[in-house]
Amino acid sequence: MESYGFFNGDTEYGQDEFNRYFKNIYEDGLSRGSNGSLTLSASLSGESVVLTPGFAIMQGFFYYNDSNKTIPITRNSTYKVIYRLVLRLDYESKTIQAVLKAGTAGSTPTVPALTRDASRYELSLYRIDVPVTGQISITDERFNTAVCGEIRPKNLAGYKEMVEEFDRQFQAWFKNVQGTGWRNIFAQATEPGGAVTGAIWISG
């Protein structure tokens, strides 16, 4: 069946149409900008974390948080436990919420897996390692495209290849300049040998 939109007139559009539209033009992820990027901070006691405002798109639906959200941390009395702070899309309840998801506590605790099925879909914002006592450890996972990532265009011919090539060139350049200083400056008449990208050659 063919479908289309959006036109003025008597045609009515609802959730399915808007969801289909956004799901086909945006990859899932959060928005990084001046309005907030869902950053996380821990209380001094380690008994709670605070999620700041931000916006995300998940499977064509949107999530928006306009104020700080305090989320309590529950410690295991015997073992270390690993949590993930996830954005959870629940298709049945028609909600998207930031919630803590616990892995299995133990001497070798497990990281909770993300649920992505017909009932729920999750993006991981942070991994939170919580010992029995003491300071908790937070790992930022927002920009890991395997579990979250940023909102970005979808299905643009050559876009991913372009980004991957930029990254490849940067990694090659960065590897070459390790231990050589930020910029090498050459003052000589002939072209210097062994110069890397970013070096300065002053001839005269």
As a whole number of angstroms, the distance between CA 194 and CA 102 comes to: 51
Q: What is the pLDDT of residues 82-100, one digit of tens each?
A: 999 999 999 999 999 999 9
The terminus-to-terminus CA distance of the chain in angstroms comes to: 71
CB distance 110 to 117 below 8 Å: no
Q: Are 143 and 149 spatial neighbours (Cβ–Cβ below 8 Å)?
A: yes
Q: What is the mean pLDDT of each run of 10 residues along the chain (204 residues)?
A: 79 84 89 85 88 94 94 96 98 96 97 98 98 94 95 76 85 73 71 74 73
How confident is the model at residue 13, as a pLDDT?
Answer: 82
Q: With contact defined as beta carbons under 8 Å apart, do 87 and 100 qualify?
A: no
d(CA 164, CA 126): 24
Q: Does domain 15-153 have CATH number 2.60.520.10?
A: yes
| CA within 13 Å, CB half, 166 | 6
3-state SS class at 185: strand
Residue bearing tokens 């643009």:
156
What pLDDT was estimated at residue 157? Answer: 66
The residue type at 113: A
Domain residue limits, the chain: 15-153
